[in-house]
Structure 1
Amino acid sequence: MTELFTVGYESATPASLADALVEAGVQTLVDVRAVANSRRPGFSKRALAAEVEERGLSYLHLRALGTPADGRAAARSGRHAEMRRIFEAHLVTEPAQEELAALTALAATGRKLCLLCFEREPEHCHRLMIAERVEQRLPEVEISHIHPLTAAFLGR
């Protein structure tokens, strides 16, 4: 079996996220945000890439696998079914299909990958939908979710 991890950074710090990735044996963090910026310090593309690369992991941004703006708005408002419908429609676009194929090919190498987005709970995030598509294409893939220590727990 090949493990494909997912993680949400909603309540994590950059360090706790990187620690959790290392602990799980992740080799590549795959950022599936349409916009790899964050109001949370340390989670914008460059800072996050530097944090994980410092620990020996690689970083890959697959922008076309991110949720469109209207889907992100639905998710922020707790309208998860609407977000899923919007993302399902987005997933059939050519750019999303190309990046899904590239992600599947990378997973087929056996490399331990982890899909990253903001939402803490995978069932409320599009990253689970992506992981399930990879699993459909590669039945030997097993999906696991990483829950980094929360910022509150760390006293931050």
Structure 2
Amino acid sequence: MKIFTIGYEATTMAAFLSTLTAAGVEQVIDVRALPLSRRPGFSKTSLAASLSAAGIAYVHLKALGTPKAGRDAAKKADLATLEAVYAGQLELPEAQAQAARMLELAAERPSALLCYERDPRHCHRTLLLEAEAVGAEVVDLYC
């Protein structure tokens, strides 16, 4: 199975959509706990509408997002704390159910996990895939 990842930090909606389309992504799986953004067009409702207009499906899996303590650690580049907080999140039954759903969705059609951070090494989406998608081919997209 191949799973794409993408962050929208410092990009435009046009570049974001172009990158997804060029990679053949047919579905975006939003793994933000809070699907809100100060970047124009990247909050849940407007993002879903833009993706739909481009022929790309949108799914939000809130339980796969990072709790506040993890988001705060990520902002400080405290990766050890982010990893510890997120490991606890992934142990929750709802997160386990949504991780299984993520894998089902990704098996159905080419999918990209979405979060804010441009660099996947500083984002929980990498931790998520390392924990839940062992053996998957991960392709990080940049726009």
Question: TM-score, structure 2 length as denominator?
Answer: 0.95
User: Whole-Å Cα distance in 1 between the matches of residues 106 and 40 of structure 2?
Assistant: 29
Query: Tell me, what secondary structure is at the counterpart of 2:16?
Result: helix
Q: How does 1:39-58 map to 2 (within 5 A)?
A: 39-58=38-57
Which whole-Å deviations, capped at 9, do the CAs of 1:121-149 have from their partners, x for residues lacking one? 1011000112223432xx3x21000001x
SS at match of 2:133: helix
What is the aligned partner in structure 1 of residue 120 from structure 2?
Answer: 122
**Paired letter, 1:41:** P
Report the CA distance between 1:108 and its aligned residue: 2.8
Identity value in percent: 42
Aligned with residue 111 of structure 2, among 110, 113, 129: 113
1:142 maps to 137
Structure 2, unaligned runs of 5 or more: none
Distance 2:30 2:107 in 1: 18
Look up the equivalent residue of 1:46 and give its one-letter code: T
Aligned length: 143
> Is residue 28–residue 57 contact of structure 1 (8 Å, CA) maintained in 2?
yes
Which structure's CA Rg is the greater one?
A: 1
Q: Secondary structure of the equivalent of 2:25? A: coil
Name the residue aligned to 1:153.
none
Contact 1:4 1:144 in 2 (8 A): yes
Alignment-mate amino acid for residue 130 of structure 1 = L
Match of 2:97 in 1: 98
Measure the CA separation in 2 of the matches of 1:65 and 1:121.
Answer: 18
Structure 1 spans left out of the alignment, 5+ residues:
149-156
For 1:50 and 1:99, how far apart are their aligned partners in 2?
A: 23
Amino acid at match of 2:117: E
The answer to whether the Cα contact below 8 Å between 1:15 and 1:51 also exists between their aligned partners in 2 is no
**TM value normalised by structure 1:** 0.88
- State the match for 1:152 in structure 2: none
> What root-mean-square deviation, in Å, do the aligned CA atoms of Structure 1 and Structure 2 show?
1.0
> Stretches of 4+ moved more than 4 A in 1?
none
